[in-house]
A = this chain, B = another copy of it.
Amino acid sequence: MFDAKIYIERRKRLKEFVGSGILLFPGNNDVPMNYPANQYHFRQDSSFLYFFGIDEPGFNVIIDIDEDKTILFGDDFEIDDIIWMGDQPTVRERAESAGIKDTATSKELNHYIKKNGKRKIHYLPPYRADIILMISELLEMSPERVKENASIDLIKAVVSLREKKSVEEIEEIERAVNITREMHITAMKMAKPGIYERDIAGAIEGIALSKGANISFPVILTVHGETLHNHYHGNKLEEGRLIINDSGAESLLHYAGDITRTFPVGKKFTHRQKDIYTLVYNAQKAAINSLKPGVSYKEVHLIASRTFAEGLKDLGLMKGNPEDAVSEGAHALFFPHGLGHMMGLDVHDMENLGEDFVGYKEGLKRSSQFGLAYLRLAKELEPGFVFTVEPGLYFIPKLIDLWKGENKFIDFINYEKLEEYKDFGGVRIEDDYLVTETGARLLGEPIPKTVEEIEDIRSSAY
């Protein structure tokens, strides 16, 4: 974890922001796979990590702003635990490492809440069922009401702190990206006809586990890149297909990396693949070149979208005025997702607090247009923001057939030509950027990206 001073300072600012009341931070618990004692890799709640840094299950914290007290609730190990789980720091030692002065047993949390039940108790929206149950019992409300009673004030305070990354956080994100880089280069070297997606997906997840804390999200590694979040890894690689590898590691302190590369199963891109790939590359470049404080990310998304519409027109897949096509949303047939999302302790940073609190702001409403509706980050960029830039082009047979059947956007889309592309798959390219005072900078060491760089690695692959 970081130095205790960092956590103390973060909590000080949080208390100032919220002003009064009790802040309840439940830490995450172990989650069973197939029976209680067989557990997934422990993942602490990200806001808990941000304010306290304690990376173990079984802890809860109360910040009592009115009483100016922070209390860590947890239980020390007994001899049976030590035999099975090893010697552990005491609760008091853990508290000290986070700059917390007061500790209490887990049981005492209930007393504390009951004693102070008439004061305002703020908590963040829970996303795990055990935490929903716990809050339901602690605060005596039905489980269905727990989420809706989460504190908007606390959400806004946490977002305002976590959205701007400090120097030590940026270092952690770069560590994560550099592990992620190793995952991507390994995948580019491993791929060859005849092996399975799973062979590569497993190996790169192993790298995230070896060098970092874990993957930062489930690996997407697929020859069916047209499925945006494809977690099936059972396809055999065949010459002629493209592989989309969208994957990332967490640093040991649980900051995320998130990179996508697309490369051919064969040693070289086909002409058609090179055309589409280059267009995605150019769209990403146009987006990156426009990054700076004050620009809205919605505008950056639209810059990439217009690059797509123009390029697809050149390829004969779209027609009409590209600017009109984008404003009406026709290009979203090929680019149905948003250009990117905030990144930090979560790969979609703070998504559990509500996407609109993170990516939008008062006066900026999320669009309901297909495609743009999926844009997670839209607001004006500020120094310290970290996010992904990840344009992509996809040929989704079911979606093409649906729109074609409805004669949707026939003035913008050349459905006849599009038939030839229904077996294409998809291309996505993604990198992680930090907004600086004057522009933006790439996080982590560069990862092979141009057609030439990728073909260079692929030529020595098998």
Contact = CB atoms under 8 A, between A and B. Distances in A.
A36 B124 CA distance: 13
B39 A34 contact: no
Contacts of A204: 206
A43 B34 contact: yes
A368 interface: no
Interface stretch (A151-159, A309-317, A345-353, A414-422): A345-353
Interface in A198-224: 198-211, 217-218, 224
Interface stretch (A83-91, A260-268, A296-304): A83-91
Interface stretch (A318-326, A395-403, A428-436, A439-447): A395-403
Interface in A127-144: 127-130, 132-133, 143
Q: Which of A31, A35, A36, A133 has the most B CB atoms < 10 Å from its CB?
A: A35
A136 B127 CA distance: 18
A35 B352 CA distance: 5
Contact of A218 (B41, B83, B210, B402): B41
A462 interface: no
Interface in A378-394: none
Contact of A127 (B36, B210, B229, B402): B36
A241 to B, nearest CB: 15
Contact of A38 (B206, B217, B399): B217
A174 interface: no
A82 B398 contact: yes
A27 interface: no
Q: Which of A33, A224, A229, A396 has the most B CB atoms < 10 Å from its CB?
A: A33
Contact of A398 (B87, B128, B129, B132): B87
Interface residues of A, number: 63
A202 B207 contact: yes
A1 to B, nearest CB: 13
A2 interface: no
Interface of A: 31-41, 43, 45-46, 79, 82-87, 127-130, 132-133, 143, 198-211, 217-218, 224, 227-232, 336, 345-348, 350-352, 396, 398-399, 402
Nearest to A130: B129
A232 B85 CA distance: 9
Contacts of A41: 40, 218
B210 A128 contact: no
Nearest to A373: B80
Contact of A399 (B79, B217, B232): B79
Contact of A351 (B36, B46, B130): B36
B346 A38 contact: yes
Contacts of A209: 198, 201-202, 205-206
Nearest to A31: B31
Contact of A133 (B45, B133, B210, B228): B133
A35 B346 contact: yes
A79 B402 contact: yes
A32 B217 CA distance: 10
A41 to B, nearest CB: 7
A184 to B, nearest CB: 15
25 contacts: A31-B40, A31-B128, A33-B43, A34-B43, A35-B127, A35-B350, A38-B217, A38-B347, A38-B348, A79-B402, A82-B396, A82-B399, A83-B396, A84-B228, A84-B229, A85-B229, A86-B224, A87-B227, A129-B133, A133-B133, A198-B211, A202-B209, A205-B206, A206-B207, A206-B210
A32 B127 contact: yes
A210 B201 contact: yes
A210 B217 contact: no
A79 B398 contact: yes
A352 B36 contact: yes
A200 B207 CA distance: 10
Given A79-B399, A198-B209, A199-B210, A46 B34 contact: yes
Contacts of A132: 129, 133
Nearest to A350: B35
A173 to B, nearest CB: 15
A202 B211 contact: yes
A221 to B, nearest CB: 11
Contact of A227 (B34, B85, B208, B228): B85
